[in-house]
Structure 1
Amino acid sequence: MFGKYLSLAERGFMLASAIAFTLMMLLVSADALVRYAFAQSIGFQFELTQNYLMVAGCMLGLSWAKTKGAFIHISGVGKFLGRRGRMTLHGLNHSVAAALFYAVFYLSLQHAVSSFKDGDVIFGYIDWPVWASEIWVPLGVFLLATRFLNDGVRLLLGFEVEGLSSSSEEE
C-alpha cells in the first residue's frame, strides 16, 4: 500500500520535473529568438533557468529515475552470490543509501529554511529568493531516500523491486 502512494508521488514529481524542463526549453528558445529578431533579451531568463527550473527539473525526477533503473549499478560481487545473497546485498546497499540521502535531506532542508529566515536573495536582473531555489533539493532527495528505504526493506524481505535488474549478475 505504501509503495502505491510512493509511486504516485514519484509520478507527480516527475511531471513537475518535465514541466520545469519544458519551461526551461521554451524560455531559452524564446530568449534566443528575441535576441536575433529584436536585439533584446529576456533579462530574467538565465537566472530563472539556472537557479530554479534546472534545480527543480533535476531534483524532482531523481526517485522516478531510480525506479526505471537509470542509476549506475555496480554488481561485481553479486556474480558470486546466489539470488538471496544478491537481494540481501542490494537491500543493505539500499538501506545505507537511504540513510545517506536522509542526511542530505536534513542538511539541505536546514540550509533552505535558514535562507528563508534570513531573507537571502540572489542579486541579478530580479532579486530572487535563495530558498525558492534550494527547496527543490530536500524535496527531491527526501523522495529518493524514501524510495531507497522502501526498496531496501522489500529486498531484505525477499521481494523484487522495480528498476533493479539482476540479470547481468547471473551471467
Structure 2
Amino acid sequence: MRHAERFVDVLERASDILAAVGLCTMMLIISADALGRLFGAPLQGAYEFTAYYLMVIVAFLALPRSYATGGQVRLELLEPWLARLPGGLARRGVALLSLAAFGLLLWFSGDEALRRIADRETTFGVVQWPLYLSYVWMPAGIAILILRLALDVVRPDAPRRGAARPDAARPDAAGVAGR
C-alpha cells in the first residue's frame, strides 16, 4: 500500500509542477502579448495557446494535489458530527461518492479526448493549433485525482506529505483566528 501511496504522491507532485509551469508560462505570454500590443506587434496565437492549453493544464493538473493537501474550498458544517462515525466512514463515503462522480467525468472526458485525437482537430486562425492535444489534460488530471480518491476509500486517515493540518486555519474558542 505504501508503494501505491508514494506512486500517487509522485504523480500529484509532477502534475502540480506542470500546473505551476503552465501558470508562469501563461503570465509571461499574456504580459508579452500586452507589451507587444502596446508597440503594435501582438503575439500571434497567444489567446488560443493560453485558453486552449495553459488554462486547462492549470485547472485540471492542479486538482489532484489540491485535494490531497486540503487546499480546495470545503464546507465543514457537518464535519464535527460526521467525524464521530467509526472507521472513517464519513470520509470513506465522501471519497466513494467523489470517486463515482469523477469516474463518470473521466469516462466522458476520456472518450471526448480520444475522439478529438482521432479527428486531429485544429483551431482556425493565423496559427492553427492542434486543438486535439488540449483535450488530454482534463482526463489526465482527473485520473490522478481518482487514484487519490481510491486510496482515500481504502485508507481514509493515511498521512500525506505536504498536507495542511486540519486544525491549522481554524479559529480558537473565541472565534478569532491567530490570537
Instruction: Calculate the TM-score normalised by the size of structure 2.
Output: 0.83
Deviates more, 1:76-85 or 1:89-98: 76-85
Distance 1:6 1:68, change over 3 A: same
Q: Which one has the bigger helix percentage?
A: 1
Query: How far apart, CA to CA, are the structure 1 residues paired with 2:111 and 2:134?
Result: 14
Q: Shift of residue 82 of structure 1?
A: 5.1
Tell me the secondary structure at the aligned position of residue 41 of structure 1. coil
**Letter of the structure 2 residue corresponding to residue 35 of structure 1:** R
Aligned length: 165
Q: 1:47 to 1:127 in 2, by over 3 A?
A: same
- Equivalence for 2:4: 2
Q: Given residue 140 of structure 1, which amino acid in structure 2 is its aligned partner?
A: G
Partner of 1:13: 15
Distance change in 2, residues 1:161/1:124 (3 Å): farther
- Partner Cα separation in structure 2 for residue 65 and residue 83 of structure 1: 25
Unpaired segments ≥5 residues, structure 2: 174-179
Please name the residue that 2:176 is paired with: none
The match for 1:116 is 117
Which residue of the partner structure matches residue 95 of structure 2? 94
Residue 95 of structure 1 contacts residue 153 of structure 1 at CA under 8 Å; is this kept in 2? no
Identity over aligned residues, as a percent?
25
Gap regions ≥5 residues in structure 1: none
| Equivalence map 1:1-80=2 (5 Å) | 1-36=3-38, 38-80=39-81
How many angstroms does 1:28 deviate by?
0.8
* Aligned-pair Cα RMSD in Å: 2.1
In the other structure, the counterpart of 2:130 is 129
Mapped to 1, the partners of 2:165 and 2:92 lie a distance apart of 13
The change in CA–CA distance for 1:29 and 1:154 in structure 2 (over 3 A counts) is same
2:43 counterpart SS class: coil
Whole-Å separation in 1 of the counterparts to 2:72 and 2:52: 24
Distance 1:47 1:108, change over 3 A: same
Secondary structure at the residue paired with 2:127? coil
Q: 1:39 to 1:112 in 2, by over 3 A?
A: same
